[in-house]
Chain A
């Protein structure tokens, strides 16, 4: 049976675990561990292997949602998790020191995967940090040669926001597909 996957990537604290839980039709499976490094100042627990959720479709087929660990020392997991993936949802925490640089880093890290599929970017924590605005990300995307990637303000807890990101990335992959 086909194993369709959507991957959630991005830095620590961007909301990947929350986003997978928001979009999932089942209670998500988490692989949290107590943070032991600089991550502890951001949150007490962090994803060390992956987060897993599932979207169930009418015909019984499923879409698997995988959240990657944010820390780059777990980057070996990124390659494993993206195998067979159909799209990347990249979440960026706007309250970090240089979120645009974060976005560039992850676009580079997932470059091969994106080149085979597509990416949509969600900017989180804009309530805590309204700047930079989306236009700054759009400018960086332009410089990366990806000006047409969807980029939205999102609340990772909000199912509608996360589903809109997924809808956007699917529209980029196949705009002729219609519900």
Chain B
């Protein structure tokens, strides 16, 4: 059996019949071990550039996963200076696709072929070597065992953090921090939700509730969503990839809501359904990409009106800690960043998604907070949950270990604790 790990491949720009045909095609490749995986777990991406959003998908892949090799299929000649792009002419033959897979494998970092600590942990250990008597007291043995366990926990935790980072990029992008005191640079941290699919969905939901009937959203090529106000669900016609691509860019005039006729009323039930709230949450994260809704005050205290339902919604990075902090104190976004010492995009994305669901607000005047910012006294702001005990740093070590374990469960990986 080969020691080379199985190549993890994701695809973008294929849906329905073309995706089905592609999967049948892939099943005929036997010389290279690979598997189809979700986008955030892949080593290599495959994009059909001739898809209506092919160029957008390519650009997005590059932005989200700049170091990931890509196989790009197209009927046209592909002019690309990107060393990590392997062009593939159509029609695609088995031999050509296999050769492309071989080629992208050479583009992967050397660390790819080495088993990760998690994988190593999952691999049966070699036969134990006869240990020499250790020149230490017998009582030290349990301590060493605990040290080893703790080290393994740290390794696993590091990998879990890496995995969380990759997933984070999918929803909140990779936008670096900026100097928030620089007025020119600060402009870049704001976006106008109304100009994105997020805004269209919000308007369509309000309209549907007003008329008491479902409405649809078209993107110029056809219907992408049906919103049903009765059961607060959406029927998603397009793929998740297409929806994300549509949600990330400012909407074109062709993206509009429309009334649905009787035929569509029946046929919309055939499409996958999801809670409207999760659609709005995702659309806000994708539109925000680590930015804030226009009009947000960086210095006004944030009131967390209620926690988002984080067992049923995508959990943006550090969402628990941000919400936990806002549960204890009304801090401004700037103070939140100072306290948690995490990337701006994490805080801004979480705020934007909560804002889309009316879970946060900034009820106090910004100028009052401006004064507070000049003399930062976090405890000067009201304590919204008076029942919360003061912080207990003495238990922080325990909490860290427990949170490591919980992160492992959350990410569905080997537990870090």
Contact = CB atoms under 8 A, between A and B. Distances in A.
A146 B340 contact: no
Given A147-B384, A174-B399, A179 B157 contact: yes
Interface in A28-66: 55-61, 63
A129 interface: no
A153 B324 contact: no
Contacts of A59: 146, 149-150, 153, 401
Given A58-B416, A118-B389, A179-B157, A152 B404 contact: no
Interface stretch (B13-21, B210-218, B240-248, B405-413): B405-413
Given A147-B384, A149-B327, A168-B310, A58 B399 contact: no
Interface residues of A, number: 52
Interface string A158-179: 0111011111101111111111
B398 to A, nearest CB: 6
Contacts of A135: 306
Interface in B111-150: 146, 149-150
Nearest to B231: A130
B326 A177 contact: no
Given A58-B153, A60-B146, A175-B328, A151 B312 contact: no
B408 to A, nearest CB: 9
How many interface residues does chain B have, given as a range?
35 or more
Contacts of B322: 175
Interface in B65-111: none
Secondary structure type dominating chain A contacts: mixed
A159 B304 CA distance: 27
B301 interface: no
B107 to A, nearest CB: 32
Nearest to B396: A177
A18 B390 CA distance: 31
A171 B396 contact: no
Secondary structure type dominating chain B contacts: helix
A179 B411 CA distance: 13
A168 B311 CA distance: 10
A134 interface: yes
B388 A173 contact: yes
Given A138-B306, A167-B410, A55 B387 contact: no
B25 interface: no
B203 interface: no
B311 A166 contact: no
A116 B395 CA distance: 14
Given A166-B406, A177-B399, A153 B387 contact: no
The 4 closest A-B pairs by CB, nearest first: A171-B324, A58-B153, A148-B327, A175-B324
Interface of A: 2, 4, 55-61, 63, 86, 111, 114-119, 134-135, 138, 141-142, 145-154, 159-161, 163-168, 170-179
Interface of B: 146, 149-150, 152-153, 157, 160-161, 304-307, 309-312, 315, 320-328, 339-340, 384-389, 391-393, 395-396, 398-407, 409-410, 412, 416-417
Given A148-B388, A168-B307, 12 more contacts: A57-B398, A57-B404, A60-B146, A119-B387, A134-B309, A141-B306, A160-B409, A173-B389, A173-B395, A174-B393, A175-B322, A177-B399
